[in-house]
Structure 1
Amino acid sequence: MSTDLPELPVTFRPTRTRAVLLTLAGGLLAAFVAIAVMLPADGARPWHTTDRLWMVLTGALIAAVLVLLSRPKVVADRDGVTVVNLTTRRRLEWAQVIRVNLRPGDPWVLLDLADGTSLAAMGIQPGIGRARALRDARGLRALAEVHGSGGPAGQ
């Protein structure tokens, strides 16, 4: 297997998905703020300060969810790998990573761990960029094989 090892440290993340989500978050927040400012203060159904505040808070909440969705990444360095998913962060030593899997139909990479469990690594996902996800999964697999205690993934 002739896979080039990525230079460490390396960060794997779905950059296009992240760019879309962060752009959308900023645009939606700006739109909610603009609407809150432009709402009529007089007339048959006037908007009060609390109404405007709730409009801005709603926009901020939606933006926060989009920022949360843009968070996943996998950071590999000489000592191990850090998996950052939506709400969790887990640091693993290379010896803990037995296998790196990205099978057809998987929404993201799964790491088989030495304790018999699996860990989703949402930072490598084939949703928008399948070729890049495959390349990143191969790179992480090669790093795990070189730096970890398990042999090649086929064992």
Structure 2
Amino acid sequence: MTTAPELHLPFRPRAARRVALVLGVLTVVGTIAIMVLVPQMPGVTFTLADHVGLVLLAASILWLLWRQGAVRALPDRSGLTVRNFILTRTVEWAEIVAVHFGDGSPWVQLDLSEGDTLAVMAIQRADGARAVAESRRLATLVALHEPRT
């Protein structure tokens, strides 16, 4: 089966990645500012444990932001690998029964043949018209890979 190469490009959210990047920069700048400025305040003692705790907190926040920014869906010939915030799952094209992007849904939902539903956080409502176009592209890929009888 021959399909246009642009159909198989990765799906990635734009708004969520931008927000994660901005918040990541603010977290680093804020952490540095606290570590430099707070110990200089009169009557404030900032111990090594305080520094370590602050760095661990910032690292935790950065990890969460990285996970949000790393959300994606990668189509290939055999199926779709969906990397959401916590879990990554690969489904074959034949397993995907339908693609839904309802009015109230924050991201695309895939109905799977086993009766399960899989969220595709890579296509998010926050991306507006682009998200609608990406959901259509995903639906086109699913239709192109339907088993022929």
Structures share fold, TM-score greater than 0.5: yes
User: Aligned partners of 2:120, 2:41: CA distance in 1, in Å?
Assistant: 52
Correspondence 1:10-29 to 2 at 5 A: 10-29=9-28
SS of 2:138's equivalent in the other structure is: helix
- Over 3 Å counting, the alpha-carbon distance change for 1:27 and 1:42 in structure 2 is closer
1:89-136 superposed Cα distances (whole Å, 9 cap, x missing partner): 111111111111111111110101111111111111112x22011100
Equivalent residue number for residue 94 of structure 2? 95
User: Aligned partners of 2:4, 2:98: CA distance in 1, in Å?
Assistant: 16
Q: Structure 1 stretches of 5 or more lacking a match?
A: none
User: Aligned partners of 1:103, 1:42: CA distance in 2, in Å?
Assistant: 53
- Over 3 Å counting, the alpha-carbon distance change for 1:133 and 1:8 in structure 2 is closer
1:36-69 superposed Cα distances (whole Å, 9 cap, x missing partner): 1333268533111211221222122222222222
User: Aligned partners of 1:150, 1:72: CA distance in 2, in Å?
Assistant: 31
Equivalent residue number for residue 43 of structure 2? 44
Normalising by structure 1, report the TM-score. 0.84
Correspondence 1:2-151 to 2 at 5 A: 7-40=6-39, 43-127=42-126, 129-149=127-147
Matched to 1:78, the amino acid is R
SS of 1:124's equivalent in the other structure is: strand
Q: Structure 2 stretches of 5 or more lacking a match?
A: none
Normalising by structure 2, report the TM-score. 0.87
Moved over 3 A (4+): none
1:5-55 superposed Cα distances (whole Å, 9 cap, x missing partner): 662531111123202212211221232123113332685331112112212
Q: Would you say how many aligned residue pairs link Structure 1 and Structure 2?
A: 147
User: Aligned partners of 2:41, 2:71: CA distance in 1, in Å?
Assistant: 45
- Over 3 Å counting, the alpha-carbon distance change for 1:142 and 1:42 in structure 2 is closer
- Over 3 Å counting, the alpha-carbon distance change for 1:150 and 1:62 in structure 2 is farther
- Over 3 Å counting, the alpha-carbon distance change for 1:6 and 1:101 in structure 2 is farther
User: Aligned partners of 2:40, 2:64: CA distance in 1, in Å?
Assistant: 30
User: Aligned partners of 2:148, 2:34: CA distance in 1, in Å?
Assistant: 56
